[in-house]
Amino acid sequence: MSKSALAVVIGLCACAPAFATTIDFENGSVSGGQIESDGFRFYGTSGVGPELYNLSAPNSTTSLHVITYQTSTYVMEAISGDSFSLDSLDAISLGSGIFMTGFYAAGGTVQFNVGYPAEWTSFDLDSSWNALERVEFSMGGDGFGASIDNLVVTAVPVPAAVWLFGSALAGLGWMRRKQTA
């Protein structure tokens, strides 16, 4: 196999598709103080536990909501344990703020202050919200509540990356062996 053919194979493998999912909580289920929806788990670490709430949301009627005067923190993580990217979300505040912290799989954090949107507002996040292992939402604290909905997440194709690395090593080893023969 020539070096150019190997480069094409590696290039095609690197283009493994990443699949976007919209978490709209319509498929959500509450069990044991946590919510599972569309391959992701949400659970509380402080304050009141997460709940599903029927509130007029874009394209749905169910959202992750907190009604409390106490700030509550919710964690979002992939049930599979894989890394993911958070691309966008919709949020509304009924007098309570929303603050997000993303935790990278490799260490470190990124933060975003959603603030107090009085009507459903879409927020697009930049590429700094890639390769996350979890996101924490701090909601509530000084009003009637806050909701998030329609979180667009993209799975990071780790198995494709592992396969790519392994096939590249095998190809380089094969090429090296061919050159010495």
Q: β-strand 109-115 against 20-23: which pairing, if any?
A: unpaired
pLDDT of residue 30: 76
Instruction: Report the CATH fold assignment for 19-156.
Output: Jelly Rolls (2.60.120)
pTM: 0.72
In the chain, where the domains are located: 1-17+157-181, 19-156
pLDDT single digits (tens) 47-89? 666 666 655 555 455 777 665 556 788 899 999 999 999 999 9
Q: What pLDDT was estimated at residue 67?
A: 56
Which tens digits make up the pLDDT trace of 106-153?
A: 999 999 999 988 888 999 999 999 999 999 998 876 666 788 888 999
Q: Are 92 and 58 in contact (CB under 8 A)?
A: no
